């Protein structure tokens, strides 16, 4: 056995040379960095924010392709839905004054709000009404009632139109609604989103923010002050998300850095360079990561929110290792140039390995069919590697300016945390004394957690994305209470031939499915061409309720539809495509867990298996289905991503320690925290949402860093002393302080997510902090026990110098 085996390998010399080159060519280094930074800034300016639903899906995805096809046929389904009430006015929405204001507001919204295709309210909704021998197609706005009594008569007509109740008016006639349909959707190219074509891609010049801001400005006008509005739908949601992302990605890095900076200053007593250096590294990392995203054509989506605190924490943690080693070298009296060389030779490779394992964990998500995840995998991993490169170059550049005099007396960065030493000694003693108990307890906890993992469900609920005090969530809850569902699922009937849906057999099968759907407790409302045809049939027969049924013959159906078009009817455009080959059955569904929607859709599948639709090819789409698909994809990614992350990191560990045994053993304390956290979630009844999904791959990548340092140090000590217990005692007491403090930095960094308005992000932060704490405990207690038990570095031996001493 080679007892002088160097854990850092031969590339240490390479890192040392890098440090010397930077020291000798400081200004050239600065120039090169400035050039990279400039390019980063340029490309970062090209990145836009997109938190829309479309940001989740790859254009090649089949489910998403159906959705795009549906939108192409039936137009963008993006809307802003404004529920209103006027509690102080008699008759509420049917108060003459309120209706006049709503009529005016409808017109103003249509004229002033950018990217609006159509605005529909009670004031301009079309009514087909039978009058003596005529059919009247009219709008309130065009023939506005002159008296309150006249309006109340209209209220009776409206309340008898099922197509409007639950959509434009609630069943108690106390709340009305205005629906703004958009001409754009999130899948359109960004060039179309600009309000001012020359105004750039700033958030305030882009859809949907400009649309939402204008709606807010109009509703705040004094003439509408006695009407209370609640806003939901794609426009308020996406606009809120986009603004939230912008706000939180601006604030989080600063807060993270402030907290982490204060901690490092307190724990390590850093001074100017020790503070400014990491700060510059972190900010530059963020800019260059954004630049990378711009270069790759990625957009900032919801998942990006975890990136700034994540990279800040990673950047600071890497900087701490470098600064710590640098100060140790300086305290030995080395000149700056030599201290930098030695520092980089010692920490370069562990930092590289730590960065590689973290990046490997993240990049495992590249297998996800969800665009948000696969892109995050790439730019997240790129960000980690950028942080590593900047730590080993830019930070070295800063440190090259450290004062050469009084090196030991006035440290820029001083190792601290000595108060932890007694605790670490006690931990080591405990490990050595109770190795059996530790192994037993760890195995028991692991087994309990492992069972809990099987209780874990992939699920999420849009509402639970937000904290309860967020206005958007409160509005959605209120609107759902009043009007029912706000999410949709759509069955598209494709007959394959132009005018195919005029076939009465197709419509009868559609009617059957619709009637069955209405019995489902999750379905709050259904819409289809069947509703319009029944309405026309009834109106054509003097409003006789007997005729509220589908016409029998294809000719009559075609002639009714022609009459409807001649009369200027437009509602059908939402349910029928331009050549009448396809029609959509839209189901308004309660906002709930994806698993419940999935269960509902499976019931529909059962119905269609028992009552096969023979006249058309039926495809399911709509936001509701996309939600279910996201849950499916998460479940799929979970298995494949976790496996890939584990395999990649395990390979890296085996390569790093040049031993399969050591590599695999090192994986145990990294895997255990992830299993324990997931198991805890399973037992607690928590579900795995799209953020928590990433917990494992992020946590395992970070946790492994500490393991690398511990195993590396214990191994080094073992080769020196030949005794496992001694190696653990010395190794842990040396490296333990840095590991505890780095973990504390990481935990505090991730707890910044608690500040987010997004409940899922806050809970993600807590769970990540718990996982890192568990990983620290596993590193301090379990890893030493495993090393003692499996003796991965070979048999114990008596060192030559001891043997020589004995012989002497």
Where along the sequence are the contacts to another protein (CB under 8 A)? 72, 110-112, 114, 126, 131, 133-139, 141-143, 183, 498-499, 502, 540, 551, 553-560, 562-563, 565-570, 577-580
Instruction: Report DSSP state, residue 772.
Output: H
Spatial contact of 747 and 263, defined as CB atoms under 8 Å apart: no
Give the residue with the Cβ less far from another protein, 3 or 72: 72
Gyration radius (Cα) of the chain, Å: 33
Q: How far is the CB of 591 from another protein (least distance, A)?
A: 31
Q: How far is the CB of 142 from another protein (least distance, A)?
A: 4
Give the residue with the Cβ less far from another protein, 6 or 578: 578
Q: How far is the CB of 130 from another protein (least distance, A)?
A: 9
Residue for token digits 């494949």? 640
Give the residue with the Cβ less far from another protein, 338 or 499: 499
Q: How far is the CB of 502 from another protein (least distance, A)?
A: 6
Give the residue with the Cβ less far from another protein, 217 or 599: 217
Give the residue with the Cβ less far from another protein, 141 or 721: 141
Q: How far is the CB of 288 from another protein (least distance, A)?
A: 40
* Residue 418 burial by Cβ neighbours in a 10 Å radius (0-12, 13-18, 19+): exposed
Listed residue (375, 273, 365) closest to 319, CA to CA: 273
Q: How far is the CB of 144 from another protein (least distance, A)?
A: 11
Give the residue with the Cβ less far from another protein, 250 or 553: 553
Listed residue (483, 461, 463, 481) closest to 472, CA to CA: 463
Spatial contact of 687 and 456, defined as CB atoms under 8 Å apart: yes
Instruction: Count CB-CB contacts under 10 A for residue 11.
Output: 12
Q: How far is the CB of 621 from another protein (least distance, A)?
A: 17
Which residues neighbour 220 within 8 Å (Cβ) at sequence distance 6 or greater? none
Q: How far is the CB of 547 from another protein (least distance, A)?
A: 11
Q: How far is the CB of 262 from another protein (least distance, A)?
A: 52
Give the residue with the Cβ less far from another protein, 24 or 505: 505
Is residue 686 classed as helix, strand or coil in its secondary structure? coil
Instruction: Count CB-CB contacts under 10 A for residue 393.
Output: 19
Spatial contact of 206 and 195, defined as CB atoms under 8 Å apart: yes
Tokens of 374: 């696969």
What is the C-alpha to C-alpha distance for residues 701 and 1, in angstroms, rounded to an integer?
Answer: 31
Give the residue with the Cβ less far from another protein, 561 or 667: 561
What is the C-alpha to C-alpha distance for residues 366 and 637, in angstroms, rounded to an integer?
Answer: 9
Listed residue (513, 357, 506, 452) closest to 681, CA to CA: 452
First and final CA of the chain: distance in angstroms?
Answer: 24
Q: How far is the CB of 195 from another protein (least distance, A)?
A: 11
Q: How far is the CB of 54 from another protein (least distance, A)?
A: 19
Give the residue with the Cβ less far from another protein, 143 or 599: 143
Spatial contact of 262 and 744, defined as CB atoms under 8 Å apart: no
Give the residue with the Cβ less far from another protein, 565 or 599: 565
Q: How far is CA 691 from CA 290, 332, 674, 688, 698, in A?
A: 20, 46, 14, 8, 11
Burial state string for 645-654 with b = 16 or more CB within 10 A and e = fewer than 16: bbebbbebbb
Q: What is the dihedral of CA 108, 110, 111, 113, to 10 degrees?
A: 90
Is residue 132 classed as helix, strand or coil in its secondary structure? coil
Q: How far is the CB of 116 from another protein (least distance, A)?
A: 8
Spatial contact of 256 and 312, defined as CB atoms under 8 Å apart: yes
Tokens of 444: 């028991």
Bond prior to 208 in cis (omega within 30° of 0): yes
Give the residue with the Cβ less far from another protein, 511 or 571: 571
Q: How far is the CB of 525 from another protein (least distance, A)?
A: 25
Instruction: Report DSSP state, residue 230.
Output: E
Listed residue (232, 234, 257, 251) closest to 311, CA to CA: 257
Q: How far is the CB of 114 from another protein (least distance, A)?
A: 7
Spatial contact of 707 and 481, defined as CB atoms under 8 Å apart: no
Q: How far is the CB of 534 from another protein (least distance, A)?
A: 15
Listed residue (706, 691, 710, 729) closest to 306, CA to CA: 691
CA dihedral (151, 152, 157, 160) positive or negative = positive
The residues facing 655 across adjacent strands are none
Give the residue with the Cβ less far from another protein, 561 or 648: 561
Q: How far is the CB of 119 from another protein (least distance, A)?
A: 11
Q: How far is the CB of 97 from another protein (least distance, A)?
A: 20
Tokens of 152: 């109340």
The residues facing 588 across adjacent strands are 488, 525
Tokens of 62: 């089949």
Give the residue with the Cβ less far from another protein, 503 or 791: 503
What is the C-alpha to C-alpha distance for residues 416 and 266, in angstroms, rounded to an integer?
Answer: 9
Give the residue with the Cβ less far from another protein, 112 or 150: 112
Give the residue with the Cβ less far from another protein, 561 or 780: 561
Spatial contact of 653 and 774, defined as CB atoms under 8 Å apart: no
Give the residue with the Cβ less far from another protein, 503 or 773: 503
Give the residue with the Cβ less far from another protein, 398 or 580: 580
């Amino acid at each position: 056995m080679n007892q002088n085996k160097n854990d850092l390998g031969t590339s240490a010399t390479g890192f040392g040379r890098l440090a010397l080159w930077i020291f000798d060519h400081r200004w050239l280094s600065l120039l090169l960095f400035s050039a990279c930074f400039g390019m980063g800034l340029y490309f970062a300016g090209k990145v836009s924010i997109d938190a829309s639903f479309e940001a989740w899906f790859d254009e090649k995805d089949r489910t998403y392709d159906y959705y795009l096809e549906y939108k192409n046929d039936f137009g963008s389904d993006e809307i802003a839905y404004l529920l209103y009430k006027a509690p102080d006015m008699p008759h509420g929405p049917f108060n003459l004054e309120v209706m006049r204001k709503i009529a005016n507001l409808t017109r103003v919204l249509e004229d002033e709000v950018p990217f609006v295709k159509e605005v529909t309210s009670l004031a301009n909704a079309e009514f087909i009404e039978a009058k003596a021998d005529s059919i009247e197609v009219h709008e309130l706005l065009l023939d506005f009632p002159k008296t309150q009594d006249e309006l109340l008569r209209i209220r009776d007509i409206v309340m008898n139109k099922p197509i409007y109740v639950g959509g434009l008016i609630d069943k108690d006639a106390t709340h009305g609604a205005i629906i703004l349909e958009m001409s754009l959707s999130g899948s359109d190219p960004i060039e179309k989103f600009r309000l001012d074509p020359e105004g750039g891609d700033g958030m305030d010049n882009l859809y949907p923010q400009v649309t939402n801001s204008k709606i807010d400005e109009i509703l705040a006008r004094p003439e509408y002050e006695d009407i209370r509005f609640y806003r939901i739908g794609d426009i308020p949601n996406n606009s809120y998300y986009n603004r939230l992302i912008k706000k939180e990605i601006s604030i989080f890095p600063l807060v993270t850095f402030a907290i982490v900076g204060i901690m490092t200053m307190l724990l390590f007593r850093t001074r100017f360079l020790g503070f400014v250096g990491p700060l510059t590294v972190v900010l530059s990392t963020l800019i260059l990561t954004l630049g990378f995203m711009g270069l790759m054509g990625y957009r900032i989506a919801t998942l990006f929110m975890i990136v700034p605190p994540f990279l800040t924490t990673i950047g600071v943690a890497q900087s701490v290792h470098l600064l710590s080693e640098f100060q140790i070298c300086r305290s030995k009296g080395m000149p700056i140039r030599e201290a930098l060389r030695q520092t980089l030779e010692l920490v370069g490779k562990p930092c590289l390995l730590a960065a590689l394992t973290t990046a490997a964990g993240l990049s495992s998500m590249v297998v996800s069919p969800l665009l948000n995840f696969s892109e995050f995998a790439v730019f997240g991993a790129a960000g980690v590697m950028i942080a590593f490169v900047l730590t080993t170059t830019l930070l070295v550049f800063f440190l090259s300016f450290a004062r050469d005099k009084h090196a030991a007396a006035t440290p820029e960065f001083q190792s601290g945390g000595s108060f932890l030493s007694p605790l670490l000694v006690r931990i080591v003693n405990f490990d050595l004394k109770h190795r059996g108990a530790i192994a037993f307890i760890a195995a028991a906890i692991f087994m309990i957690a492992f069972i809990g993992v099987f209780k874990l469900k992939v699920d999420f609920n849009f509402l639970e994305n937000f904290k309860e005090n967020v206005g958007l969530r409160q509005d959605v809850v209120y609107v759902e209470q009043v009007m029912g569902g706000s999410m949709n699922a759509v069955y598209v009937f494709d007959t394959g031939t132009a005018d195919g849906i005029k076939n009465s057999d197709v419509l009868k099968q559609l009617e059957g499915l619709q009637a069955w759907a209405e019995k489902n407790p999750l379905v709050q409302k259904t819409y289809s061409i069947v509703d319009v045809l029944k309405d026309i049939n009834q109106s054509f027969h003097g409003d006789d309720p007997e005729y509220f049924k589908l016409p029998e013959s294809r000719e009559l159906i075609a002639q009714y539809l022609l009459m409807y078009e001649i009369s200027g009817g437009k509602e059908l455009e939402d349910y029928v495509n331009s050549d009448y080959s396809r029609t959509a059955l839209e189901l308004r569904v309660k906002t709930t867990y994806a698993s419940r929607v999935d269960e509902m859709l499976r019931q529909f599948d059962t119905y269609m298996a028992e009552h096969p639709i023979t006249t058309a090819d039926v495809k399911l789409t709509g936001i509701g289905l996309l939600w279910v698909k996201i849950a499916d994809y998460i479940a799929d990614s979970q298995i494949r991503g976790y496996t890939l992350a584990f395999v990649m990191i395990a390979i890296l560990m085996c390569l790093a320690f040049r031993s399969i045994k050591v590599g695999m053993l090192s994986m145990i304390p990294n895997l255990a925290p992830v299993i324990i956290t997931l198991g805890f979630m399973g037992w607690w009844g928590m579900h795995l949402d799209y953020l928590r999904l990433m917990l494992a791959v992020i946590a395992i990548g970070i946790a492994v860093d500490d393991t690398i340092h511990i195993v590396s140090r214990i191994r080094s000590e073992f080769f020196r002393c030949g005794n496992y217990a001694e190696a653990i005692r010395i190794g842990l007491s040396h490296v333990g302080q840095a590991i505890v403090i780095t973990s504390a930095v990481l935990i505090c960094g991730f707890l910044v997510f608690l500040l987010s308005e997004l409940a899922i992000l806050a809970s993600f932060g807590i769970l990540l902090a718990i996982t890192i704490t568990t990983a620290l405990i596993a590193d301090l207690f379990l890893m030493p026990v495993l090393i003692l038990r499996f003796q991965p570095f070979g048999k114990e031996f008596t060192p030559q110098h001891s043997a020589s001493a004995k012989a002497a």
